[in-house]
Structure formats: C-alpha cells, structure tokens
Structure 1
C-alpha cells in the first residue's frame, strides 16, 4: 500500500510538469497538440485538410481529472480464429464487458469516420479506452434507450483551484455553472470544445454532450482532426494527449485501448464495472501531510484547540448533511427507467431479414449497382434501431467492399435498416455470398447471393478496311484488329473467340436476303485453308482465350495460307453476343502479260 500512496504523491507533484514537457515535445516535433477547427465532418471524397489550430493549452476536457484504474494483467480471451480483429467476443473478464448502448455508440462512431474520413483509421476501442477513463463507460452504462445519461456526469468546477481556470463559456447551458466551466457528459467535453466539435449522431435534432451517441461521434471527429492517421503511433499519442495533456493519462488510455483490442463483449446497460480511483484523489491526501508537524506543542494549545471542536455549532448548522435532498429529489432512483427500459434484452429476440436488396450483380471489374440491405426486427416484426450488423463476403471471390475489406459493419436506423458499403467486383466471375449477422451474437445469418459476370461487348467492328488477301503458302500481309464496345463505351477485357470457316454454298437465284444471312451462319469449320499457329507452330483454326486490351481493341495473331485457294471466312464472337465476320481471299498472283 505504501508504494501506491507514494506513487500518488509523486504524481500529484509532477503531473503538471510531465504534461507540459509532453506537450512541448509534441510541439517541437510539429505534431498537432490540439485538433483544428472543423467546418464539416469530412469532405465527401474523404480528403482531410488541417485548418488553424485552437489556442495552445486547450484540450477536450480542460485537463479535468480522470479514472486511473488499469485493466487486469490477464487479457481477455483471444478472438476466435477467422474472426475480424474488431469484433467483440462473448467471453472474458468483467472489465472487458462494455454496456450495450455505449458499445453501439462507439461502433457507430467508428463506422461514421470510416465512411467520411477513412484516412483517420479510428478504431472504436480507442473511444472505449477514453470513455473508460473519463466516465467509467457512462457510469457502467447508466443511459436511456436513446443513449442519454440518466443523471448528469460533471467534472469539478474549473476555477483554478487544483485544476485549470476556465471562465464560463456556455452561460451554464450544459454544466449549470454561469461562473466557470465544467467537463460534461460521458466523454467529458468542456462547453467551449463542445461548441466546436459537438454533433448530433442519434438523429434527435440536438447536439447533446450528455448523449453517448453524440459524444462518441464528436470525440472521434476531435481525435481525427488535423489530418491525423491513428494507425500511426505518433498521431495516436498526439490525439490522446490533445484530449488531456498528461503522460499518465496517455499511458492509462493506451492500456485500456490494448485491453479492448484483445477482446471485449457486450453487457446489459447499467451493469458495467465501475472504476474506483481518480487522478485528483491526491488532492485529499496531500494537505493531510502538513498539519501533524508541530514539535513539542505547548500544553496550553491542546486545551484551547479542544474547546473549538466542542463548540461545533457549525457541525449542527451545516446544511451539508441536511442538503442530501439531492439524493432524494433525483427522480433518477424513483424513475429507474433502467429496470423499466429493459428493451435491451429485446436484442435476444432480434432477428435479421432481407431489406429488399436488388439483384447483387456486376460485370467483372465494375461496381455493383445495388448494395446489400438488411432490416433488424423484433419477435413481432417491428424494426429495431441501434443494432450492429456485420456483413461478411463468403466464397471464392475477389470482390471487395469499399476500401478493399472483406467485412464491414453498420448500425440500424430508426426503421431498422442497415445498408452495407458499396461492393466492387474483381476479375473472378461466378457467385458468392454476402452474409449478415448481428455482431457478437449467435443469431441466424441472412445470406444474399451476389454474382460477377464476365465482361461483355454488344458490338465488334474491324479496325481498318484493307482487303485481306494472301498468295498460297504465304502470310496475310495485314494483321487483323477489332474493337469491342458495350453500350457505346469501349469494352476492355472482353473474351473473344476466333474461328476460320469455309463459306456456305451461295443461295439459289430468287432467294431472299434472309437466306443469304442464313448461309453465312451455315459456314463449315475449315480442315484446310487459312490458319493460325499454336505455340508449337502447328496449324490451328479456332483460337480461344483472346481478350480485348484496355483500349477495347484486340489484334489477332498472324494468319497463314496453305496451298488451298478460294474465299474463306473468319468469324469473331465476343462474350455478350457481339459477332463480326471478315472475308479472306487466297489466290495466286497474276502473271505479267508479255509485251507484243
């Protein structure tokens, strides 16, 4: 116990110096100590631009106190094989359990940042680490169904006594104090920072720092500011220090971040484990060290000091013991929506169904026009909001979600609908499955079939118009090129088959045009006449495996003529139905007529 107390005393004396040194070091490395002021969540393209930074010394929490409890030495059970590294598991120590609504808010914030600012690489476990040390995961998940804390979570008055001195900036709107500011809500934003970064994430039209959905998204935006990439250690450290400028805070958050990355699981709201120790606990113990020092006190002082405690009219008058009308007045114990609101157990009865996804088909190398759509419903078929759904690509395919991932997450809206990210087809054709499951829960999966078809062309035209002729036993002088298009656009990568044919006998006199067209299709495969050469130099008269290039053009190998003269056909057929027939002539060269 003694070393623990000693460590706290040393921390109380040195935290400010350490924090100042850490911020100075970050400034020297030109890393953003605090985020820049945003205009919007992110540009539609996902580009991130750093703007002018807020004044030095600012932080999300005003450097308010935080919980210093560390995770247990034994990490949670490792993730099951084949499971994505950011999926919760259903086993592990109590400290790994995150209240259901709080966990959903962190994951929703991660998904939002992945869509709007993918270069930030924000993991939800980082928000969980910060939420743990700031508020013990909203006091163990004591939140309403829409994510609002059942009672306010306020930091100490920032009046300069043991903390920063921050005068009121919100006229008491968030913290109830019109003289000084206080950190507010489960992510402990000071009002001035919330005014810049606060967002409405639960769709109720309000930006409320007391709502875990709003607070988690806002914290994510704040951590990602200034073009940070949180997959880079330096940017990660700078982001955490911008939240609270203390190296001990950095170490504590990182320890929870690593702990949750090793595994976590969902627990019912209101049942999360609560931390015990705060970083400002020293302020109670430090003053106690000074009074006991007077050496050999005179006998007169003990008697005089005794009467003063005896005159405790003050202990009698203090309204402090009487004022506990606050514990009584709070309708919170009286209106325990938590026992009443166990709509959270409903997730057990939640199931998924196809939300009317259109046909999931695409041509190789193109984007799927439709996206997988799933609806979360309860046992009666009513939609359920805030259900985290995991989409997984299953089967032999090189199709990928946006960003090259084989799995993705989404959170259902008020209508219970979750839409997967856009799908991009690869070059591999065939069918595969898009599987939807409720994250972290063994529910029946919904499987949607997706199909990638080969590239197609609806038109083939010859490049050039020179007559294709050769003398017996020679090569055709011209190389044959064809251009493929699909709906008027060049079609690269389209499979083409080339077949050499003998023309059908001409139609009889009086036959109509349809008969002439039919004669062409009745042409017979050649056993002699023009030919291509295979890799061994042997004649072949059918070529497969040909594909058009990036410009949609295919140039055929050289054609050779044997000793057979006459007219022949070269038929080209492309995937998608386009055909082209080219006429070839093999004839002996005309002999020169002698002069008379």
Structure 2
C-alpha cells in the first residue's frame, strides 16, 4: 500500500538511489510525456509559474505540509476480488470514499459548465485531496460531506513553516494568533475568504465540507484562464496550490495513478497516509486523527504590583476622569481589543475614476480606509470587495470577491478589475469582514471596444462590370493606439456622395439573406487581429464611381472607391486610305467659263 511504500522511501529503509529510481519509474510509467532529470525528478524549467500567476505567494495552503506517500508502482486494476475482499494490485489505494469521490465529480461537472476552457479533471482534485488530507482522512465525513472532526494544519508561526499571522480572528481555524490550513483541501483562511464556494447548496461556504472545498479548489486551479489539458498550465496550477517541485511531483504521480482507474469504497474505510513533508524538520504536523489546537496562553509569572500607598483596601472608587482625558483606563489584564471590533465605518481612500474598455484591465484600483468613530485608521482589518449585479467584470484572477487586509495606514487596495464584454456601469461594494458597518460602494464603467484608425489592407483598384460582382473583397484593419483592435463593432454603407452619408439607391450593393440588394450593413465586428472582411459586393446596371464608407465604434473611418464600367471592346481596324487623284490643272490662259 502507499502508506507502507512511502514509509520505506521517506524513513531511510531504502537508499536514496532506490527512492530516486522509484520516483523515476513512477514518472515513466504513470506520467507519459513528463520530463525527469537523472534523479527521477521533474525538471522545473517550464514548471515555475510567472509572477502574475502566483499573485498569492503563499498559495492555497500557505505552503503547509502535505503527505508524501506515493501510489503503488503497479496499475490500480483489476478490481478487488468480491469473494475474498483482498487487495489486488494496489486497488485499496485506488479506492476513494463514496462521498469524497462524488464531491470531486460534481466539482468537475460544475467547472465544465462555468469554465469549459479549463478542462479540469476530477482526478486532479482527487490527487490534491490525497496529498492534503488523505481524502478527508479516508472519508471520515457525514452525509452532507462535512468532516467528522476538524482537519487543521500546523499553525503558521514561522517555526519550521511560513509565518502567516491571523487573518480571520479564528473564524475558520479557531486560532486568533496565527493562520492554519483548514479542511480536506487545506485552504488557509485568507485564501478561503475569496476562493470559498458552496458546493452542496446549503447556503454556506464551509472549508470543512468536501463539496465546498472541492468546488473551491477547482475554481482556484482554473483561475488565470489556465487550460489544464496543457501540461505547462497544469504544472503552474499545481505549483500555485503549493509552491514546491516535490509537491508537484507527488500530485502528478497520484493524478496519473487515478487516471488509470479508481473505484468507490465506503466512507471512512480509506487508507490513511503516514509520511509528511515536515518529517525530520524538527516540527511535526499533528497526527491526522488528532485535530490541531491553538496553544493556550502562558500563565503570567510576573508578581502582582503592590497597592499604592494611601489607598487601603475597601476605599471609595476613584473619581471619574476629567471630560477631556479620553476613555477610562483599561483594567489590568484586559486583552487589547480586536482591530475589527474598533471599526466604525469605511471611507473611500482616494479612488480615481474607474473606466475601462471591454476586455481591458482597469488602470485604477479601488482602495478603502477602515476608521474608528473618531476617524482614526485601523490596521489589520479584512476588507471584502465584491462585484455586484449582472456583469461579467471580475478581478484579474477571475473572481468576483477579493479580501484584502488593511495596512498600517488602515488602507486596503483591491486587486485590479478586468472589464468583461458587457458594457455599462459596474458596482463594487467594500465591507468589513465580520462586522456590519457602513461600507463603500464604487462605481466603475465598462465602455465598448473602439478603434482610432481604420485602413484598407490592399491597394488594388476595385472594379466591376454592370450586373456583375466585384472580384476582390474589401478588407480593412482596425487599430487602437497602434495595437490591433479586436471585437470592435463596425458599419459599412454605400453612401450617396462624399458629402451625403445617406445610403445610395443605385450602384454597388451587398445581398441580404433574401437575396435582395442591401446598401448599409451593421453588426460587423473585427476579428482577433483587428481585421474586417466585408461580404461579397455586386453591381447593378448603373455605371460610374461609387463610395463605400466603413466606420468603427470610436469613430475610425475609411472610404473606399468602387468603379462600375462596361467592359472595354476592341474597335475594328480602320480601312487603308487611298490617296485622291489630283484634279486636272486649269489652263491659265483660258478665260472664264461661259
């Protein structure tokens, strides 16, 4: 089984060479097309995501520890014997608890509808679920998919792990000092705030529920328009979940293993992983059977301060402080207030006008300032920015919600917005997470795509005989600020004259769906390269020079000349001329005729 195999590799029972050979064999036998180095590891030259693809360096899990057990080298088939129930060819490892398997497949179906270009396979969710939590601790979930006990990673206090101080006031992980990865897919609270999803339709987004967590993981892996059928994008997506090449290797081996075949097993009967990436680091993640808990505060060892002279026990209470002295002093031992509890309202922190063309990223970003009732800035407060209404405008990661913690000046700056194709107003609401206080509503505007230049791509004269059709099509290129202007709306009209933009009633024409002459077309759109190729042009019996005017959204215009003329015919050769005979000369001596 994988647990035994992993222990043999990770605990040094075998040599490093054997371990490397095993990993190489896995890569060769289970991951066709995967490049490995001489140690059997995947090369990282094309696996490291670019900076914009790892906007959150901590990934989904905060780079928390993960299980390193590897699948058996043999195929998961055939199925276990019904008569003996024994494990045949490693099928126990291939078995996935019923509820967990159902959650993965439903998440795949949802992503196929919402983001078909991502091509998310459910086996990838299963592979990640295996290394993150051993398939929710072998499927120890209730009928709704919620884990029977919390699955928490170690607190990320910098002691052998990343340092991520509390971002959720303990709402998800029960720890108000540091964050911990939560649930079967091990999301850290700050990531869950924007990536969380309701996968089982109960109206809640619970990281401890396998349906919610699996759907959230699917959306997380499909952001940035990655196509997971492309190995390069698949690598980037996995590394964005946990930025470790070893993690990538482990997930890929399980992915290929599950692709070879799986079967459903009863909930709670799955095998539990044994080896973790933090083994031997001096800090060990608690056993999967024992949920992690936040450390209890240490008892104070300082001696109590003696009473002030002249103030015997039982004396009258101190008089009230003067009116201008502020709030009464905090009693000794009282913990400081949680920042979120001191927020009275949000203010716009100087956001400029938010306008962008469809498909573009907004150059300006929204910023909100958390303030107390007296206008004092409040740091370390989580601000949630939510895109409202019927719009396809999102934040650059493809999400409609983003949560940002205020800085020392009390300001939270939202990620950049990316305009969708729907034009018009967009509203984004900023609220304080965990409080109902006055928020801020931002209004953005998405404008239509435009072009500022439109030119014909060819210079050949466009001619036609009466009643015929033009041999060459009209093609133009639209640009905006020098770049190709794609998806820009355009119109084409055969105008009466250079000074009269009305459609002509004679001369060249397009054909409508009914075959009749049409001399004005709308609904035209440039392609991805900014090119606009017009339909076939025809001519009636009217000869002359005519004008075709094409105009794009944004006002770019081009006028094209069309000539309709009769075909030239060859003239007959003229007959050879015969010189005329000279008239007889008159006799000068003769007198005038009678």
TM-score normalised according to structure 1 size = 0.50
Q: Relative contact order: is structure 1 or structure 2 higher (C-alpha 8 Å, sep ≥ 6)?
A: 1
TM-score normalised according to structure 2 size = 0.50
